[in-house]
Chain A
Amino acid sequence: MQLISPLFRSFKAFKSLIIFCSVLLTLGCTKKSDAPDNSITFPLEAYIKGLDPAKSSDTYTEEVLSNLVEGLFQYSYLKRPLQVEPLLAAAMPTVSKDGMTHTFKIKKGVRFHDSEAFPDGKGREVKAQDFIYSWKRLADPATQSEGWWIFDGKIKGLNEWRDKIGKEASVTYDTPVAGLEAPDDETLIIRLTVPYYQLHYVLTMSYASVIPKEAVDKYGAEFLNHPVGTGPFKFESWIRGNKVILAKNPTWHGGTFPSEGSAEDKASGILADAGKPLPFVDKLIFLEMPEAQPRWLSFMKGTTDLSGIPKDNYDGAVKDRKLRPEVESKGIRLHIYSSAEVVYISFNMVDPVVGKNLYLRQALAMAYDTTTAMEKFYNNRAIMAHSMIAPGMDGYEPEFKNPFKEYNVEKAKELLKKAGYPDGKGLPPIEYSDSGTTTSRQMSEYLSQQFEKIGVKVNIVSNSWPQFQDRIRNKKAQMFGMAWLADYPDPQNMMQLFYGPNISPGPNSSNFQNKEFDALYEKALKLPPGPARSDLYKKMRDIFVAQLPWIPTVHRQGFTLSHGWIENYKKVDSMHGYFKYLRVNVDKKKELKAKL
């Protein structure tokens, strides 16, 4: 110990170190939380970009923003399939006989959140003109909105206004647009250029919500960090990369829990709150948690109230699509719902090899074993996709089978021979692009192994996300994996992915062009929902199957867990803004949390 004693004497800091560590440990052990009992803490699986409705393009941003801002419509919380109902509109609109003019009455007494943007700090009443301002802002190129597509080419004079604003001094936000009129504070008229049967759906989206000009003027480019809307919750704080806190809006115009629901809703007791004023909770806390482990552990500790199930934790929590008893005993509940989404492997139809050889595409589709992929990558939390139409959408037929979705290596080899590449001979390696994440690389490896069985070699091109998107937009990706979550529950949103004029950089990223398909698409756009339109969608689906620009793989299903103290949870993917319906049973929370 000759050395140790001088060390300790000289390095008195060592002693301090131990004391410091003890203090840290003590502080670390002191449990406290910024979430009051009657609040909901929700984990977001990705960082969010900004809280400007004009830029609400990703599902995580929408999860937060939809509690702050509101539009004319929302989806009914309990009805399935999803139905649109008035939110800031006083009632459903009056629609002219030709379907081209929609007249809305705005609900009275709707106020913007209190904000320093207003002269007295008190939010003023919403007027019909505010919608016109908000939608013009969406159209204004200076906003760089990702949501302009909802009105692009649809409203009289709006495209012309967009072309001139910022270029011609005489054109301002006060310049009238023929298709948007507010004859008084409570009346809003939309005049369309073409029939637009998806209008009511897009008016549920945050893109179409109403925001005050005063707040945009005050915060300028930073409006996305200081959102002001009319929603049941108002913005309190945001530490980027950590959490967003929203507080109950005391001046909310009000709303009640729905009274109509299915027999299943009645049985589950969800209608017990029917007619009661919303929202039920005082605060919403959204945690930005991109990593799966902290998300999962936080939920299992009761720090967060709701959670998805990370892939690696699925088997420990669920067996045969039911919660394991040890998880269920903690009061945790499992909610399974269909997602209006399709995951697919896309061919680039302008590629001289895969795009021009139908037999080759068919061979590759039959060589891909989707059933095993579902087990490997989705824990079977998905159903086989046979076309682009997702479950719950008009035209979706559960019994419909795409003949090329059959996994059959022998048939695939025959087709490959017909394609002119017996056993893959003469076929250059296929370039398959992925987004570089661990899972996407694993999926690429899997695909490569599948195609190898019929003699087709694959070169995997892993990219960063921006590079990946660039390759697709520039039509350079020969094949790639992707998913499309529908913006609204109308198959038109899926069909547009194959409409010729929408090719890259538009949403038709497979660059599929087929005159017959385009004619049917244009015809369907002019038809209201009904059997005639459904028939057209089925014909378009059949063209898709015959031409196979994609190998549709799966429709993922949502598996969400909630703690036993969260009541009234009933969600689907396309629906946001549902937190106002949720209730926290505070007594149950204390009791169950003690067991975690």
Chain B
Amino acid sequence: MFKFILRRTLYTIPILFGVTLIMFLLFHVAGGDPAAQAAGRYATPESIQIIRVQMGLDKPLVIQYFELVRQIFTLDFGRSWASKQEISSLFASGIGPSLSVTLPAFVLALLMNIPLGMLVAYKRNSWFDKNMLVLCLAMLSISSVVYVLAGQYFLSYKLGWFPVSGWDPSWIGRWEYVTLPVIILLVLFFGGDLLFFRTVFLEEMHQDYVRTARSKGLSERRVLFKHVLRNALVPIITLLVLQVPFLIVGSLLIESYFGIPGLGGMIFRAIQEADFPVIKAMTIMGAVLYIVFQLLSDVLYALVDPKIRLG
């Protein structure tokens, strides 16, 4: 196990190298000139050049790239070009609001969709199963913007159940504002998750060991929860663990419609403003999170499924 973790950790080096190189090239080739952007609409070649020097964009690309590598190793990404705040404090202020929406939605979706997935799989080919399938497919084929627009219009505006948008920095006060976004995310998770869980459970329910367990006279409850659920956990964990980085990064759509000051909106603003320090810090963070959680999911495989041996 230790060797596996070490090997996978070493793999992250070329992956991170690739990610940083692609991001760096994209920013410099297609990202626009941040110095010219900062100089404004009355820019002169002289004023752009002054800002370019201040931003360090006048240095050769190789030097700029090594500066990026240095920042990754020291974990010091400096300050945002736009807000002038330290990246670490920007990140710290954005992660809480993002997780306030995505985490409850993620947990509630699990609590709801795993048992429902099992139930639908168990009732395979029944009217309930068929209707749920149609419902899931219908929900998946509707754009997520529609849920946001409709939820905000009917539940907030027409029925007045929730505020249309807004934010309260206190942990108690913010529930007022995150309830509807959480519900919408729950709906967004529903179709895809349920279809996935159904497939996983169906697969397991037709395995030989299930037939054996039943023939031994085990109760349905024991068969399902002791055997099927445990085996189904392998692919489920993969899906769930890999979703965690996206929970942290937040939902741009939800955040911009509901005024939630999270990381999703922050990334959007950074791209709009060609704020490279924020873009690179977030890209690196995204890549590292993804790698770490992928490793975690591999380790968890081994823990829930004795057939899998890492090494």
B-facing residues in A11-33 (Cβ within 8 Å): 11, 13-14, 17, 20-21, 24-25, 27-32
Q: Which residues of A contact B (CB under 8 A)?
A: 2-4, 6-7, 10-11, 13-14, 17, 20-21, 24-25, 27-32, 34, 47, 49-50, 57, 141-142, 144, 146-149, 152, 221-222, 224-225, 239-243, 287-291, 293-294, 297-298, 300-301, 303, 464-470, 473, 505-507
B43 touches A473 (CB 8 A): yes
Partner of B256, one of A17, A24, A291: A291
Smallest Cβ distance from B134 to chain A, in angstroms? 21
Partner of B259, one of A29, A34, A289, A300: A289
Q: Which residues of B contact A149 (CB under 8 A)?
A: 40, 42
A464 touches B32 (CB 8 A): yes
Supposing A222-B85, A464-B32 touch, asked if A297 and B164 sit within 8 A by C-beta, the answer is yes
B interface size (C-beta, 8 A): 77
A-facing residues in B178-236 (Cβ within 8 Å): 179-180, 182, 220-221, 224-225
Smallest Cβ distance from A215 to chain B, in angstroms? 14
Smallest Cβ distance from A46 to chain B, in angstroms? 9
Partner of B84, one of A20, A50, A57, A303: A50
Q: Which residues of B contact A242 (CB under 8 A)?
A: 166-167, 259-261
Q: Which residues of B contact A10 (CB under 8 A)?
A: 221, 225
A464 touches B271 (CB 8 A): yes
B32 touches A3 (CB 8 A): no
Smallest Cβ distance from B82 to chain A, in angstroms? 6
Residue B277 is within 8 A (CB to CB) of chain A in the complex? no
Nearest B residue to A13 via CB reads B111
Residue B47 is within 8 A (CB to CB) of chain A in the complex? yes
Supposing A24-B182, A225-B84, A242-B167 touch, asked if A144 and B34 sit within 8 A by C-beta, the answer is no
B225 touches A4 (CB 8 A): no
Residue B304 is within 8 A (CB to CB) of chain A in the complex? no
- Report the 5 A-B pairs with minimum CB-CB distance, sorted nearest first: A466-B32, A146-B40, A28-B179, A149-B42, A6-B221
CA–CA, A301 to B266, complex, Å?
A: 27
> DSSP class of B's interface residues: helix, strand, loop or mixed?
helix
Q: Which residues of A contact B168 (CB under 8 A)?
A: 34
Smallest Cβ distance from B198 to chain A, in angstroms? 14
Which of B4-12, B17-25, B114-122, B289-297 touches A?
A: B114-122
CA–CA, A507 to B157, complex, Å?
A: 43
Residue B16 is within 8 A (CB to CB) of chain A in the complex? no
A239 touches B167 (CB 8 A): yes
Nearest A residue to B82 via CB reads A49
Q: Which residues of B contact A6 (CB under 8 A)?
A: 220-221, 224-225
Q: Which residues of B contact A470 (CB under 8 A)?
A: 32-33, 36
A4 touches B119 (CB 8 A): yes
B266 touches A469 (CB 8 A): no
Residue B132 is within 8 A (CB to CB) of chain A in the complex? no
B41 touches A303 (CB 8 A): no
CA–CA, A25 to B255, complex, Å?
A: 20
Supposing A29-B161, A465-B272 touch, asked if A294 and B152 sit within 8 A by C-beta, the answer is yes
Partner of A241, one of B108, B176, B266: B266
Q: Which residues of A contact B243 (CB under 8 A)?
A: none
A300 touches B157 (CB 8 A): yes
B119 touches A241 (CB 8 A): no
B37 touches A466 (CB 8 A): yes
Number of A-B contacts defined by CB within 8 Å: 190
A144 touches B273 (CB 8 A): no
Q: Which residues of B contact A146 (CB under 8 A)?
A: 38-42
Smallest Cβ distance from B168 to chain A, in angstroms? 7
The 0/1 profile, CB within 8 Å of A marked 1, for residues 227-268 of chain B is: 000000000000000000000000000011111111001100
CA–CA, A3 to B223, complex, Å?
A: 11
Smallest Cβ distance from A218 to chain B, in angstroms? 14
A3 touches B220 (CB 8 A): yes
Smallest Cβ distance from B47 to chain A, in angstroms? 7
Q: Which residues of A contact B83 (CB under 8 A)?
A: 49-50, 224-225, 240
Beyond A3-B119, A298-B165, A505-B45: 15 further Cβ-contacts under 8 Å?
A: A6-B224, A7-B118, A25-B161, A30-B176, A225-B85, A239-B167, A239-B169, A243-B259, A303-B166, A464-B32, A465-B32, A467-B30, A467-B31, A506-B44, A507-B42
Smallest Cβ distance from A265 to chain B, in angstroms? 34
Smallest Cβ distance from B102 to chain A, in angstroms? 15
Residue B144 is within 8 A (CB to CB) of chain A in the complex? no
The 0/1 profile, CB within 8 Å of A marked 1, for residues 45-86 of chain B is: 101101100100000000000000000000000010011110
CA–CA, A47 to B256, complex, Å?
A: 10
Nearest A residue to B220 via CB reads A2
Q: What are 13 contact pairs spanning A and B, CB under 8 A?
A: A4-B119, A6-B220, A17-B108, A28-B162, A144-B50, A225-B85, A297-B157, A297-B164, A301-B157, A301-B164, A470-B32, A507-B41, A507-B42
Q: Which residues of A contact B118 (CB under 8 A)?
A: 3, 7
CA–CA, A49 to B45, complex, Å?
A: 23
Q: Which residues of A contact B273 (CB under 8 A)?
A: 49
A-facing residues in B77-107 (Cβ within 8 Å): 79, 82-85, 90, 93-94, 104
Residue B149 is within 8 A (CB to CB) of chain A in the complex? yes
Smallest Cβ distance from A341 to chain B, in angstroms? 13
Residue B309 is within 8 A (CB to CB) of chain A in the complex? no
The 0/1 profile, CB within 8 Å of A marked 1, for residues 136-174 of chain B is: 000000000000010011001100111111111100010
Residue B130 is within 8 A (CB to CB) of chain A in the complex? no
Q: Which residues of B contact A473 (CB under 8 A)?
A: 33, 36, 43
B256 touches A290 (CB 8 A): yes
CA–CA, A146 to B157, complex, Å?
A: 40
Q: Which residues of B contact A32 (CB under 8 A)?
A: 173, 176
A240 touches B261 (CB 8 A): yes
Partner of B258, one of A28, A147, A294, A505: A294
Residue B281 is within 8 A (CB to CB) of chain A in the complex? no
A222 touches B84 (CB 8 A): yes
Nearest B residue to A473 via CB reads B36
A506 touches B42 (CB 8 A): yes
Smallest Cβ distance from A482 to chain B, in angstroms? 10
Supposing A32-B176, A239-B167, A288-B259 touch, asked if A297 and B224 sit within 8 A by C-beta, the answer is no
Supposing A47-B269, A146-B40, A293-B149 touch, asked if A28 and B85 sit within 8 A by C-beta, the answer is no
> Taking each of B164, B175, B176, which has the highest tally of chain A beta carbons within 10 Å of its own beta carbon?
B164
CA–CA, A31 to B177, complex, Å?
A: 10
Nearest A residue to B93 via CB reads A240
Residue B303 is within 8 A (CB to CB) of chain A in the complex? no
Residue B308 is within 8 A (CB to CB) of chain A in the complex? no
B167 touches A144 (CB 8 A): no
Residue B282 is within 8 A (CB to CB) of chain A in the complex? no
Smallest Cβ distance from A285 to chain B, in angstroms? 10
> Taking each of A144, A294, A505, which has the highest tally of chain B beta carbons within 10 Å of its own beta carbon?
A294
CA–CA, A7 to B113, complex, Å?
A: 12
Q: Which residues of B contact A47 (CB under 8 A)?
A: 265, 269, 272
CA–CA, A303 to B162, complex, Å?
A: 12
CA–CA, A160 to B277, complex, Å?
A: 32
CA–CA, A294 to B112, complex, Å?
A: 29
Nearest B residue to A304 via CB reads B164
Smallest Cβ distance from B92 to chain A, in angstroms? 12
CA–CA, A21 to B107, complex, Å?
A: 12
A293 touches B153 (CB 8 A): yes
B163 touches A303 (CB 8 A): yes
> Taking each of B42, B163, B221, B225, which has the highest tally of chain A beta carbons within 10 Å of its own beta carbon?
B42
Q: Which residues of B contact A293 (CB under 8 A)?
A: 149, 152-153, 257
Q: Which residues of A contact B265 (CB under 8 A)?
A: 47, 241
Smallest Cβ distance from A553 to chain B, in angstroms? 19
Partner of A297, one of B79, B122, B156, B272: B156
Smallest Cβ distance from B112 to chain A, in angstroms? 7
CA–CA, A147 to B266, complex, Å?
A: 25
Q: Which residues of B contact A152 (CB under 8 A)?
A: 42, 44
A239 touches B261 (CB 8 A): yes
Nearest B residue to A150 via CB reads B42
Smallest Cβ distance from A529 to chain B, in angstroms? 22
Q: Which residues of B contact A30 (CB under 8 A)?
A: 176
Q: Which residues of B contact A27 (CB under 8 A)?
A: 175-176, 179
